[in-house]
């Protein structure tokens, strides 16, 4: 006997309504007569054989997955919750596809299944969602980061470190974390938020545990040399006793720890994400507080020395004048932090000549074999800007008029970005009392002018 087959697709279907054209008026009498004639004859009806329905109880023997570039087929199968050999119905397959769609991991989920006798084979066709962002765990310290991610993947197979921007997959991760706390009698409850720059796109899902105190007991550095260790310890000296936050520690790495190595010519130095370890319980410790030891893994790499610095694109200011602002010395360790300050000074110098849109790009050329670096600094000067309007705020009319007369940059003059600060300092020295002065420059790229606002606020 040839096996019967049944195919189902998990999508709502719709069919267009049939449209009828109005009948010609001349046909109406004919139709009425035929209708009366039909009423005089007995109507013979014949029941159409019903379509053979699928068995209500099928044994699942296989699940196939196609269409995903992100997930392994076995992870999608695990996410369905279906088990080989279990009894299934068409409603089970509908429920599975709906649940997969609600995770947000897929832009489209459909299914087909075939059965032969009591056995059924399910085929899932999926299409991955477009937008995923990383998941970050800010103060979850009871498992290491690799252990935590592996644990979450075992509980929620569609979690691979990233989460879709829509759907309920982030909620599932939050529930998994909360369940871990409950099983281990740990305090706090899990929250998460979508993080990103203000008015910008979402960059990550950040999970944290609220109503719990996790404090740093000490900070250590694995792989750091003796020469750099004091500077690293000084940069993190205020961390001990503070609340543990991976986001804050990662910010510490970028702003304070890596610059220790960049300033010494270790241009490829890396520092790993902070690893938290819960030390053995201390009888004197607060039972409501969790203490952690934080370790940063340091890989300094090679120390590079300066080979040369070369300028290109300069026209208004000679290269010799620009070189006077560079403090790096050939043959010495390439201090990348000092170079950044020197580049900022060059930008300021161009601003003093009215070139407000000047950009300076230092490109390092590394010679790994010789452990040297050459910086090729490209300058794009742009056009010269001129003085626009001056607006002085926060002072009485008489003082404002007096300062307006003392302002030496007139409309149309080449702008000098250093002048406003000098003028503000001189003005404060001639006024009674202590004042704060905020300076706001507004360059107009179209007209190539700069409007200046000086706001005076008396100190309390």
Q: In CATH, what number is assigned to the domain containing residue 140?
A: 3.10.20
Q: Note whether 318 and 347 are same-domain residues.
A: yes
pLDDT over threshold 70, residue 46: no
Residue 275, domain CATH: 3.10.20.310
Q: Note whether 358 and 409 are same-domain residues.
A: no
> Of 163, 178, 210, which residue sits at a domain end?
210
Cα-based angle 79, 83, 87 (whole degrees, multiple of 5): 125
Q: Note whether 291 and 312 are same-domain residues.
A: no
79 in Cβ contact with 106 (< 8 Å): no
* Structural domain containing residue 447: 386-458
pLDDT over threshold 50, residue 171: yes
Question: Any residues with CB less than 8 A from the CB of 55 and at least 6 apart, and which?
Answer: 115, 118
Of the two residues 57 and 123, the one the predictor is more confident about is 123
- 330 in a structural domain: yes
Q: Note whether 356 and 290 are same-domain residues.
A: no
**Residue range 270-277: mean pLDDT, rounded:** 93
> Of 176, 192, 210, which residue sits at a domain end?
210
- 204 in a structural domain: yes
Question: Any residues with CB less than 8 A from the CB of 76 and at least 6 apart, and which?
Answer: 65, 68, 100, 124, 126, 157, 158
pLDDT over threshold 70, residue 315: yes
- Residue 45: what pLDDT? 29
Q: Note whether 238 and 280 are same-domain residues.
A: yes
pLDDT band at 54 (very low <50, low <70, confident <90, very high): low
Question: Where does 8-139 show beta strands of DSSP type E?
Answer: 58-66, 87-88, 106-116, 119-128, 132-137
- 158 in a structural domain: yes
What tens digit of pLDDT does each residue of 216-241 get?
A: 999 999 999 999 999 999 988 889 89
pLDDT band at 285 (very low <50, low <70, confident <90, very high): low
- 98 in a structural domain: yes
306 in Cβ contact with 334 (< 8 Å): yes
163 to each of 95, 131, 159, 191, 192, how far by Cα in Å? 22, 8, 7, 15, 12
368 to each of 17, 37, 263, how far by Cα in Å? 73, 102, 18
pLDDT band at 287 (very low <50, low <70, confident <90, very high): low
Q: Which two tokens stand for residue 209?
A: 């545990």
Of the two residues 193 and 51, the one the predictor is more confident about is 193
Q: Which two tokens stand for residue 69?
A: 């570039």
- Dihedral sign computed on CA atoms, order 277, 280, 281, 283: negative
- 28 in a structural domain: no
Q: Note whether 219 and 283 are same-domain residues.
A: yes
Of 412, 421, 451, the closest CA to residue 348 belongs to 421
Cα-based angle 34, 38, 39 (whole degrees, multiple of 5): 120
Least confident interval from 55-59, 152-156, 176-180, 374-378: 55-59
pLDDT over threshold 50, residue 180: yes
**Residue range 351-375: mean pLDDT, rounded:** 97
**Residue range 314-339: mean pLDDT, rounded:** 97
Number of C-beta neighbours around residue 436 at 10 A: 12
- Residue 120: what pLDDT? 94
Count of structural domains, the chain: 5
- Dihedral sign computed on CA atoms, order 279, 283, 284, 285: positive
Q: Note whether 186 and 220 are same-domain residues.
A: no
pLDDT band at 53 (very low <50, low <70, confident <90, very high): low
CA distance 228 to 235: 11
> Of 210, 232, 255, which residue sits at a domain end?
210
**Residue range 315-325: mean pLDDT, rounded:** 96
What tens digit of pLDDT does each residue of 29-39 get?
A: 444 443 443 44
Q: Note whether 396 and 361 are same-domain residues.
A: no
pLDDT over threshold 50, residue 351: yes
Least confident interval from 41-50, 346-355, 358-367, 421-430: 41-50
117 to each of 61, 82, 113, 120, 428, how far by Cα in Å? 12, 20, 13, 8, 94
135 in Cβ contact with 163 (< 8 Å): yes
Strand partners, 110: 125
According to DSSP, residue 394 is labeled S
């Amino acid at each position: 006997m040839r096996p019967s087959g049944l195919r189902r697709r998990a999508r709502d279907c719709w069919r267009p309504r049939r449209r009828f054209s109005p009948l010609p008026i001349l046909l109406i009498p004919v139709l009425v007569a035929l209708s009366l004639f039909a009423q005089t004859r007995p109507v013979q009806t014949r029941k159409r054989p019903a379509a053979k329905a699928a068995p209500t109880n099928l044994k699942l023997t296989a699940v196939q997955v196609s269409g995903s570039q992100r997930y392994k087929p076995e992870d999608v199968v695990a996410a369905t919750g279906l088990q080989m050999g279990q009894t299934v119905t068409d409603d089970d397959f509908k429920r599975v596809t709906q649940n997969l769609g609600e995770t947000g991991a897929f832009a489209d989920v459909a299914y087909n299944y075939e059965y032969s006798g009591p056995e059924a084979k399910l085929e899932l066709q999926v299409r991955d969602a477009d937008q995923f962002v990383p998941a970050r765990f800010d103060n979850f310290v009871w498992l290491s980061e690799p252990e935590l991610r592996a644990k979450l993947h075992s509980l929620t197979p569609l979690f691979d470190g990233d989460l879709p921007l829509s759907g309920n997959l982030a909620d599932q991760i939050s529930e998994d974390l909360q369940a871990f706390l409950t099983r281990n009698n740990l305090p706090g409850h899990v929250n998460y938020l979508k993080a990103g720059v203000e008015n910008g796109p979402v960059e990550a899902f950040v999970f944290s545990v609220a109503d719990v105190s996790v404090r740093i007991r000490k900070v250590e550095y694995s792989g750091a040399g003796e020469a750099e260790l004091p500077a690293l310890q000084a940069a993190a000296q205020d961390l001990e006793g503070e609340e543990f936050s991976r986001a804050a520690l990662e910010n510490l790495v970028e702003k304070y720890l890596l610059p220790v190595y960049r300033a010494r010519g270790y241009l490829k130095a890396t520092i790993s994400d902070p690893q938290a370890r819960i030390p053995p319980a201390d009888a004197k410790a607060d039972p409501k507080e969790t203490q952690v030891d934080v370790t940063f893994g340091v890989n300094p790499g090679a120390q590079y020395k300066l080979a040369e610095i070369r300028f290109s694109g300069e026209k208004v200011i000679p290269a010799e004048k620009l070189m006077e602002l560079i403090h790096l010395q050939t043959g010495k360790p390439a201090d990348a932090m000092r170079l950044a300050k020197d580049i900022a000074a060059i930008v300021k110098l161009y601003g003093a000549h009215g070139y407000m849109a000047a950009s300076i790009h230092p490109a390092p050329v590394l010679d790994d074999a010789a452990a040297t670096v050459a910086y090729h600094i490209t300058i794009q000067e742009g056009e010269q800007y001129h003085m626009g309007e001056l607006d002085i705020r926060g002072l009485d009319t008489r003082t404002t008029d007096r300062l307006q007369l003392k302002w030496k940059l007139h409309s149309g003059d080449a702008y000098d970005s250093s002048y406003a600060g000098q003028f503000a300092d001189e003005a404060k020295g001639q006024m009674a009392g202590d004042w704060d002065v905020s300076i706001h420059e507004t360059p107009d790229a179209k007209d190539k002018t700069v409007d200046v606002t000086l706001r005076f606020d008396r100190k309390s």
